C-alpha cells in the first residue's frame, strides 16, 4: 500500500500589488524584483479574510468531492495563527461541516510545519488506511514597509487530502532532516510583521539544503539523477533557482544550466504572482508543477525541500501517479488567478494597515473578499466567520 497526496487545491486573495508599482514608488528598477528575486506580483489579503477563511476556501473543493465522513483528522499548519490557544483549524472544521469525530490540531515551525503535518498524516493513514487526513497550510507573509523583505510578501492557503493509494503523489518513507537553533527570521508574539536577517536567512537556507540532502542520502537509495523535478520552499522564486544550482553542484551533476532550470521552472509559475505564502508555498509549487508541467510526469520522481526559518528543514521524495492529470483543479485555479484585482500603491497601504481591532467592542469587517468564506466581525474578542 502506498500513502500520499490524493488531491490538492489552493486559494489566494483576490487582490494583488504588481511589484512594478512598488519599484516605482521606491524609485528603483522593477527588474530587481522581476529578475533579481524572480517575483512579479504579491497577493494581499482582504480585510475580511485571514488564515481561517483562506484555508476553508482552499479545502472546499476537496470536501465537496469526498464528503466529510472519512476525514479522521484536520491538521492546520500556519505561522499566522489567530489565537494563542484555540487551533485555527477548529473554525475551519465548522465552516467545512466536518464531523464531530474528526480531530483538529494546529502545527507551527515557520514555513516547515505543513511538511511535518504531511508526514504525521501519512503515519496516521498507514495505521488506518480507510481514513483520510486533511492537511491545510495557510499564511499571510508580512514584513515592515520599506524593508528588503517587503517585496517578498504574499498570502495563500493549500489543502491536501492524504490517503492510502493516492491519485497524485506517493510519498516515500525515507526523509532527511536538519535542525539548528538560529535567528534568521522570527516573529515575537507582540508583532504582526516578521523580523528577518535577509542575507543570513538565504545562507542558512542553502546550508540546511546541503545538510538535509546528506541526511536523506544516508537513508534513501535515490540519487540526484533519479529525480526529474524538485520542489523547493519558495520565499521568492530566485531562491529555488539558487538552491537547485547549489544542490546540483554538490552532487557534481553534469547538467547544463538549461537542464537545471527546467527541473524547477514549472514549480514557480504560481509563486511568481502570489508571493511567499510561508507554509503553503512549496505545495503551491507542487500544484504549479502538476498543472503546468511541460511533459507527462507520470512515474517521475520529485524531490521536495521544505525549509522553515529558525530552523527546521526536510528533504523527501515522491512519485507522480499515472492519471494524476485527471485529478487536478487547473481551470478553477487559473480562473481564480485571472480574476484577481490589481491594487494601487495607496490601496495596498490600506490593505496592509487595516486594523485588527483589539478593544473587545463589536467591529464589522468591510465586505471585500470574493471568497466563499469571510471574517464578518470581531466582537467581544471573538472572531465571527460566515459562509457567503
Q: Among positive and negative, which fits the CA dihedral 66, 128, 327, 278? A: positive
Tell me the catalytic residues. Answer: 79, 111, 233
Task: Please report, as residue ranges, which positions from 2 to 31 form the binding site for ligand HMG (by CB under 6 A).
Answer: 29, 31
Binding of ligand HMG by 378 (CB under 6 A): no
Number of chain positions touching ligand HMG (CB under 6 A): 29
Please list every residue from 287 through 316 that binds ligand HMG, using CB under 6 A: 307-309
Q: How far is the CB of 241 from ligand HMG (least distance, A)?
A: 9
**Torsion angle (degrees, nearest 10) of CA 334, 339, 344, 347:** -110
Q: Which of 131, 233, 269, 272 binds ligand HMG (CB under 6 A)?
A: 233
Task: Give the pairing type, strands 15-18 and 41-44.
Answer: antiparallel
333 is a site residue for ligand HMG (CB under 6 A): no
**Which lies closer to ligand HMG via its Cβ, residue 91 or residue 236?**
236
Q: How many CB atoms lie within 10 A of CB 99?
A: 12
| 283 binds ligand HMG, rule: CB under 6 A | no
Tell me how far apart the alpha carbons of residues 186 and 171 are, in angstroms, rounded to a whole number: 30
Does 81 sit near ligand HMG (CB under 6 A)? no
Q: State how far the Cα of 302 lies from the Cα of 319, in Å rounded to an integer.
A: 6
Residue whose cell numbers read 495505521: 127
Helical axes 345-353 vs 19-26, angle rounded to 10°: 100
Q: Are 371 and 40 in contact (CB under 8 A)?
A: no
Least separation in angstroms between CB 183 and ligand HMG: 12
Other Cβ atoms within 10 Å of 53 Cβ, number: 31
List 4, 235, 303, 318, residue binding ligand HMG (CB under 6 A): 235
Give residue number: closest CB to ligand HMG. 36
The cell numbers describing 248, all together, are 546540483
Contacting ligand HMG within 110-149 (CB under 6 A) = 110-111, 148-149
Does the footprint of ligand HMG cover residue 203 (CB under 6 A)? no
- Alpha-helical (H) ranges within 67-158 are 88-96, 113-127
Q: Minimum CB separation from ligand HMG for residue 148, in Å?
A: 3
Which spans of this chain sit near ligand HMG (rule: CB under 6 A)? 29, 31-32, 35-37, 79, 110-111, 148-149, 152, 184-185, 196, 198-199, 201-202, 205, 233, 235-236, 239, 276, 278, 307-309
Amino acid at each position: 500500500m502506498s500513502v500520499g497526496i490524493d488531491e490538492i487545491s489552493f486559494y489566494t486573495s483576490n487582490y494583488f500589488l504588481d511589484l512594478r508599482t512598488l519599484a516605482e514608488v521606491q524609485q528603483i528598477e522593477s527588474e530587481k524584483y522581476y529578475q533579481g528575486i524572480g517575483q512579479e506580483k504579491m497577493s494581499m489579503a482582504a480585510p475580511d479574510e485571514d488564515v481561517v477563511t483562506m484555508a476553508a476556501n482552499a479545502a472546499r473543493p476537496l470536501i465537496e468531492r469526498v464528503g466529510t465522513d472519512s476525514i479522521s483528522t484536520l491538521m492546520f499548519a500556519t505561522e499566522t495563527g489567530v489565537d494563542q490557544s484555540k487551533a485555527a483549524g477548529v473554525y475551519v472544521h465548522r465552516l467545512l461541516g466536518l464531523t464531530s469525530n474528526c480531530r483538529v490540531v494546529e502545527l507551527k515551525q515557520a514555513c516547515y510545519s505543513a511538511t511535518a503535518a504531511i508526514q504525521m498524516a501519512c503515519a496516521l493513514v498507514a495505521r488506518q488506511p480507510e481514513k483520510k487526513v486533511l492537511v491545510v497550510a495557510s499564511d499571510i507573509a508580512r514584513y515592515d514597509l520599506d524593508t528588503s523583505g517587503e517585496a517578498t510578501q504574499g498570502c495563500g492557503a493549500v489543502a491536501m487530502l492524504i490517503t492510502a493509494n493516492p491519485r497524485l503523489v506517493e510519498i516515500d518513507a525515507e526523509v532527511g532532516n536538519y535542525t539548528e537553533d538560529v535567528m534568521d527570521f522570527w516573529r515575537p508574539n507582540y508583532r504582526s510583521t516578521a523580523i528577518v536577517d535577509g542575507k543570513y536567512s538565504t545562507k542558512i537556507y542553502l546550508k540546511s539544503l546541503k545538510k538535509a540532502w546528506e541526511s536523506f542520502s544516508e537513508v534513501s537509495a535515490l540519487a540526484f539523477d533519479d529525480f526529474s523535478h524538485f520542489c523547493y520552499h519558495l520565499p521568492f522564486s530566485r531562491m529555488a533557482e539558487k538552491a537547485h544550482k547549489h544542490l546540483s553542484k554538490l552532487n557534481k551533476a553534469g547538467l547544463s544550466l538549461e537542464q537545471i532550470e527546467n527541473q524547477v521552472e514549472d514549480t514557480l509559475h504560481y509563486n511568481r504572482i502570489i508571493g511567499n505564502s510561508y507554509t503553503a508555498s512549496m505545495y503551491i509549487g507542487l500544484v504549479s508543477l502538476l498543472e503546468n508541467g511541460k511533459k507527462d510526469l507520470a512515474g517521475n520522481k520529485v524531490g521536495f525541500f521544505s525549509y522553515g526559518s529558525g530552523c527546521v528543514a526536510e528533504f523527501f521524495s515522491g512519485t507522480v501517479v499515472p492519471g494524476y492529470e485527471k485529478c487536478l483543479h487547473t481551470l478553477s485555479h487559473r480562473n481564480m488567478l485571472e480574476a484577481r484585482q490589481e491594487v494601487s500603491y495607496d490601496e495596498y497601504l490600506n490593505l496592509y494597515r487595516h486594523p485588527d481591532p483589539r478593544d473587545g467592542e463589536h467591529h464589522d469587517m468591510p465586505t471585500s473578499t470574493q471568497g466563499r468564506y469571510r471574517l464578518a466581525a470581531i466582537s467581544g474578542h471573538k472572531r465571527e466567520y460566515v459562509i457567503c
